[in-house]
A = this chain, B = another copy of it.
Amino acid sequence: MSQTTLDAPTATARSLNDKLVAARTASLTLATANADQKNAALEAIAAAVAGGADRILPANELDLANGRENGLSTALQDRLALSAARLTALAEAVREIIGLVDPVGESVRGRVLPNGVRIDQVRVPFGVVGVIYEARPNVTVDIAALALKSGNAVVLRGGSAAENTNAVLVSLIQDALTSVGLPADSVQTIDEFGRDGARDLMQARGLVDVLIPRGSANLINTVVAESKVPVIETGAGVVHVFLDESANEQWAVDIVHNAKVQRPSVCNALETLLVHRDAAARLLPPVLAQLRSSGVSIHADDETRAIFADAVPATEEDWQTEYMSLDLAVKVVADIDEAMEHIRIYSTHHTESIITNDLSNAERFLNEVDSAAVMVNASTRFTDGGEFGFGAEVGISTQKLHARGPMGLPELTSTKWLVRGSGQIRG
């Protein structure tokens, strides 16, 4: 792949290890910075992004030109492209983080032991957060702002396709940090080290406290497999809706349409619809007709196609696929047990929803389906930090350790125990 590179403003002779050590040092300052200081940095960053079009857009143009030359898909070019309007929106997103409560120092629990020793579990920053992501320069600004607000230094490895844009953005962020007296090394890019940099970042246990991969399933699987640094997996969503025998027809039509069509390219969008056999003739025609009117392609099993002919035959691969497009897999099942068995086999444990009026089936679904979010009579599109009221979202975790489901600022922190005594010893 050929790459034209700007004379990158952040280029230095520092090794990757030097950069990680510098991040660790910066994290010590950030860990004790108060919310006023961190918010001042965020305001300076927002202003720099909003007012930085003359530096950011030419770098972005260069990345886009490289992308076109290297055959970057139109979808990826769209994700990569910035404009004055997108910069304004990006700055606004940073300003929204200013309004969020600082999680650092929050008391999780505490008590006085019988011997008079007081113990308090409080939130503290992780320290250094590593992020590996693909050609989305908005992630550079978003994740830097979220990490700073939660008191963490951040080391960014973006895709090479956005390298020039990210270099300018990080340079602007570092200037903003310096302007309010916080260390510039709090936010760094390691894009200049290419793939080796990503590999070394994954080995940097002890220097990097947690690694967050954001992007394709392939990227995430690589990081999960290779990283010695603990990983928070923000995974794919093969999301299911099950229409139970007693499902309200209007709710079924509305929820399935909303879950599939409102924004098909995101991880909480519907991918597979399961329908109770005894409700198939009643529900499939209106539900699928509504989808077809919005241009959805139906990939269906034989039973579905016997009821609704405007569909292509589904294969085994369809049940495994996160389309992220206007495609939907549809299958008729005997009952809730077969529905939950299908979900057990094919779900990526992101979000599943049952549409039902049967109380015991609703409770069984909630209790027995093992996903980050399990819903009754609601659109899967609600699995979202903004919708959940977190104000901002770090990503949606599909792993079970540390965080599960939408992650807000508290999920970017660890805890420690503060123990205050007056000479007590253990008996």
Binding site for B on A (CB under 8 A): 28, 31-32, 111, 113, 117, 119, 121, 124, 126-127, 205, 209-210, 224-225, 228, 230-232, 248, 250-251, 254-255, 257-259, 262, 353, 362, 366-368, 370-379, 381-383, 387-389, 399-402, 404-406, 414-426
Contacts and interface: CB of A to CB of B under 8 A. Distances in A.
B258 A113 contact: no
A124 B421 contact: no
27 contacts: A113-B387, A124-B370, A126-B400, A127-B400, A205-B224, A209-B401, A230-B399, A230-B400, A251-B422, A255-B425, A258-B426, A259-B425, A373-B416, A374-B416, A375-B420, A376-B420, A377-B422, A378-B421, A378-B423, A379-B425, A381-B425, A382-B419, A383-B417, A383-B419, A388-B417, A401-B402, A405-B415
Please give me the 6 A-B residue pairs with the lowest Cβ-Cβ distance, nearest first.
Answer: A378-B421, A258-B425, A400-B414, A251-B423, A381-B426, A375-B419
Contacts of A250: 423
B416 A371 contact: yes
Contacts of A205: 224
A423 B248 contact: yes
A382 B416 contact: no
Contacts of A379: 421, 424-426
Contacts of A232: 401
Contacts of A353: 419
Contacts of A423: 248, 250-251, 254-255, 377-378
Nearest to A126: B400
A419 B117 contact: no
A205 B235 CA distance: 14
Contact of A374 (B248, B372, B419): B419
Nearest to A402: B402
A205 to B, nearest CB: 7
A377 B127 contact: no
Contacts of A383: 417, 419
Contacts of A422: 251, 377
A146 to B, nearest CB: 17
Contacts of A404: 414-417
A156 B225 CA distance: 22
A373 to B, nearest CB: 4
Contacts of A32: 367-368
